[in-house]
Chains A and B, each alone.
Chain A
Amino acid sequence: KAGVTQTPRYLIKTRGQQVTLSCSPISGHRSVSWYQQTPGQGLQFLFEYFSETQRNKGNFPGRFSGRQFSNSRSEMNVSTLELGDSALYLCASSWEGTGELFFGEGSRLTVL
C-alpha cells in the first residue's frame, strides 16, 4: 500500500512569489492535514480537509490556503512568500481525521 506522497520534495522561491504544494494521501484515507516545521516554531498545524471541506484551521495568515479534490488529493498554496515561510511542509492523511495520522516525506521550501 503506497504511503503519503508529497511533491515537489525541494523547491526554492524568492520573496513575493507564490508556491503550490501537492499531497496524495494513502488510498482510502479521506482526511488530509498540513503541518509546517521550522527550527524556531517546531511543528505547527496549518489546516485539515475532509471530503473537500476545510474542517479546521491553525493560526496562520490568510496567505496560507489549501484545497482538497474529490479524489482526496490536496494542495496547499502560499502567496506573497516571505523569508519566514522557509520550512518543511508535511502532509498527513488519516481515515477520518482522528485516530492515527501518517505523514509524507515533506516538501522543503527555501525562500530567498
Chain B
Amino acid sequence: GIQVEQSPPDLILQEGANSTLRCNFSDSVNNLQWFHQNPWGQLINLFYIPSGTKQNGRLSATTVATERYSLLYISSSQTTDSGVYFCAVERGRRALTFGSGTRLQVQP
C-alpha cells in the first residue's frame, strides 16, 4: 500500500516562530488532508489539498502532487497550535492512510 512519511517527528518552537511540516507519499493520490489532533483526540480539519496551495489565517499548505509531497506552514505560532499534526492521503480506496504525525510543542 501507499506509504506516508512525515517530518520532523517532533518540533519545539518558541511562541511567534514559524515552522514547516513535511509530508512525503509514495504514490499518486486523489485526496490529501492535513489534520490537527486536539488534546481530546478529535482530528480537526486544516486543509483538503490534493494539489495546489491554500491559506487559512496563519496556516497555509502546498501540495506538489507530481513530486509527491505536501508542506504545512505555520506562521507566528501560538501555544494553542501545540498538538499533533497528521497528513493523510487516499488513493481511490475510500480509505485514508495516515502518516505517523508531527508532535508540535509551542512554548510561551
Contacts and interface: CB of A to CB of B under 8 A. Distances in A.
Interface in A34-60: 35, 37, 42-45, 48, 50, 55-56, 58
The size bracket of the interface on A is 20 to 34
Interface in A42-88: 42-45, 48, 50, 55-56, 58, 88
Contacts, number: 59
A99 B31 contact: yes
Interface of A is mostly: strand
Given A42-B101, A88-B41, A100 B95 contact: no
4 closest pairs, A vs B, by CB?
A97-B94, A43-B98, A100-B48, A103-B43
Interface of A: 31, 33, 35, 37, 42-45, 48, 50, 55-56, 58, 88, 90, 92, 97-106, 108
Interface of B: 30-31, 33, 35, 40-43, 45, 48, 86, 88, 90, 92-98, 100-101
